[in-house]
Amino acid sequence: MNSIRIPAAICLVFAVGCSGAARGASPVEAEGPGLAIRVATYNVLTSSDPNRILKNLQLLDADIVCLQEVRNDATHLKRFVDQLKMTAAYAAYGPRSGAGMAILARGTIKPGKVLNMAGEHDYGFSADVTIKGETVRVLCIHLKSLPRPLIRGAMESMGARTRQAKDVVELAEASPHPVIVAGDTNSLGFFPSYVALARSLTDCCAACGTTTQPSIFVNRAGYRIDHVFVRGPWAIDAARVRELDGSDHRPVVAELRLLGPTTRPAGLEGPQEPSR
């Protein structure tokens, strides 16, 4: 959005540019080739058309996909996993929720930790994903929603969302593996929650100069609230929003290269549940 002022702390990310190294990568690590993967995040809207969502996922052709507002049933997640021939881990938003978050991968998945906060739905979970012998830690997140009316709701929910973002950063910084954080942040570029994430992690679209592409439209106004972040020995070759219908959100896709070795492989076959 042209009217949004981006803080100086975020502008520093633009200097990296596509094919630059992510935060946490040394200059030596940023020189070599490595595992190349495509990562996508997509809020698929629980009531959306699963046929259209499946088609979009096939078009995205990503190696790792983070989904939000997905149902763990035969029409949504189970069908996606079967048709895409991927493995998956799933975390419901809560014990009585009919939807949640999922990580799909062309590899093996070992679920990790669920992020929760009293009075709020679970807002993220981690998993170690192993592809071609390389292990990376993936965090799928869906931070606190923006109640309507939008401006007042954003202000009233700012504190909880910022605390959630800081918890995400803490989990990412503690990882022994290269990190991917992807999902619906419900945060514009000047929100404290986004600043907390971008201060420790590299926003892939910011590195590629594509942050003005909206990922959701509200009353015909476009906003960017969906992001792919990385930390560790990554090169970011491309990142952008894909203009695909089927949900109220558009998917965000990043092309990444791993520039350094990971620690020991870890993974389990099939859909898995993370610990709470």
Q: Higher confidence at residue 65 or residue 276?
A: 65
In this prediction, residue 1 has a pLDDT band, given cuts at 50, 70 and 90, of very low
What is the DSSP secondary-structure string of 118-173? TTS---EEEEEEEETTEEEEEEEEEPPP-PSSHHHHHHHTHHHHHHHHHHHHHHHH
191 C-beta neighbours (distance < 10 Å), count: 22
Number of DSSP helices (H) and strands (E) in the chain, helices first: 7, 14
Question: Residue 198 above 50 pLDDT?
Answer: yes
16 C-beta neighbours (distance < 10 Å), count: 19
CA–CA distances in Å: residue 59 to residues 16, 36, 55, 252 = 28, 18, 6, 13
Instruction: Look at the domain 8-258 and name its fold.
Output: Deoxyribonuclease I; Chain A (3.60.10)
| 178 three-class SS | coil
Closest to 238 in 3D by CA, of 225, 251, 214, 256: 256
- Residue 21 DSSP one-character state: B
**29-62 core/surface letters (b: 16 or more CB in 10 A; e: else):** bbeeebbebbbbbbbbbeebebeebbebbeebeb
> 192: which residues sit within 8 A by CB, 6+ positions away?
158, 162, 165
Provide the residue ranges of all domains of the chain, joining segments of one domain with +: 8-258
Tell me how far apart the alpha carbons of residues 236 and 81 are, in angstroms, rounded to a whole number: 26
pTM for the whole structure: 0.84
Task: Report pLDDT digits (tens) over 103-118.
Answer: 999 999 999 999 999 8
pLDDT value, residue 220: 76
- Residue 264 DSSP one-character state: S
Tell me how far apart the alpha carbons of residues 274 and 129 are, in angstroms, rounded to a whole number: 13
Question: Residue 31 above 60 pLDDT?
Answer: no
Task: Report pLDDT digits (tens) over 161-177.
Answer: 999 999 999 999 999 99
What is the DSSP secondary-structure string of 187-250? --TTSHHHHHHHHHSEEHHHHHT-TTS-SEEETTEEE--EEEEEESSEEEEEEEE----SSSB-
